[in-house]
Amino acid sequence: MTQQQWDIIVVGGAYTDFVVRGPHLPVPGETVMGHDFLTLPGGKGSNQAVTAARLGVKRIAMVARIGSDRRGDEIIDAFKQEGVDTRYIVRDTRTASGISLIQVEEHGQKQMMFSFGAGQQLTEADISPVADAIRTAKVLMLQLEIPIKPLLSTARLAHAAGVPIIFDPAPPLDTPEELLPLVTIIKPDAKEAEKLTGQAVHDRETARKAAKMLLQRGVQIVAIQTGDEGDLLIWQEQEVWLPRLPVNSIDATGAGDAFAGAMAVALVEQRSLEDAGHFASAAAALTTTRLGARPALPRRKEVQDLLAHLSTVS
């Protein structure tokens, strides 16, 4: 058997975020004067890998496809600075690295538009060199930033080897039904949950209904956003309520990625699901307190300090 080398392997998107913050989000045809602008390395998979690294996991590898362009070089450099291994990242010579355009209003609400670029050229052949590593990893993380064929083949590979899979069904695209029974933890926000189930999610009760639909379709654990109230972590006949934490939120970008990355760390550390949920909730809350996803992803001490503070005031 191949010796275990990785704690977490992330297969997903790595691209560049262009972020503008202004007083409110524009409606169609409107021009809004922004007052902050950032260019940052991004991508859901990329942010999840960096979150896990910042929270203390040392053996993390990223699997992605990026362009052979300057932005691709910057993406690789940023991973190396964070301690994320890049040996499985493929450089595409024909397609540019992807980008996301992100607009954020003063209360932290956002809207985004993506062009995945080279990320959508990822193939099953790109996954083959990573197969042994995936089979012996402690956790595999997936999103909908890559084409369906390599997504499914990667999930089947990990599932057959007994590797836990955390699946973030974002952006809210069509999810193949055969993927769900392979998933250990699925982490949809309210819109993604509705896309998956047809159940509108706006509070704790509607989130519970959507989550139970996903459990019935084969997912083991559901971590679902309930709207503005918080998140619900539910499995079998048990659930943990994760209320929205009292922080000064200015930008929600990356909060879901921080939640997923922190859940992966908790799985690696073999925490209970309840403890994992609160750890992930704190990581997500901290991410909303700074502008941009990548700069806002928290360090382990920040998460520990927030949890310690909340325990003293509860």
Residues with active-site annotation: 257
Q: How far apart are CA 148 and CA 145, in angstroms?
A: 9
Q: How far apart are CA 307 and CA 292, in angstroms?
A: 23
How many beta carbons lie within 10 A of that of residue 200, not counting itself? 13
Please answer whether residues 234 and 225 qualify as being in contact, where contact means their C-beta atoms are separated by less than 8 angstroms: no
Query: Residue 104 pairs with which residues in a beta bridge?
Result: 21, 110
Residue labelled with tokens 């540019």: 96
In the numeric block, which tokens belong to residue 81? 């600075």
Residues across the chain: 314
Using DSSP, state whether 61 is helix, strand or coil. Answer: strand
**Distances from the Cα of 231 to the Cα of 52, 163, 217, angstroms:** 20, 25, 20
Side-chain-side CA neighbours of 174 within 13 Å: the count stands at: 6
Q: How far apart are CA 167 and CA 260, in angstroms?
A: 8
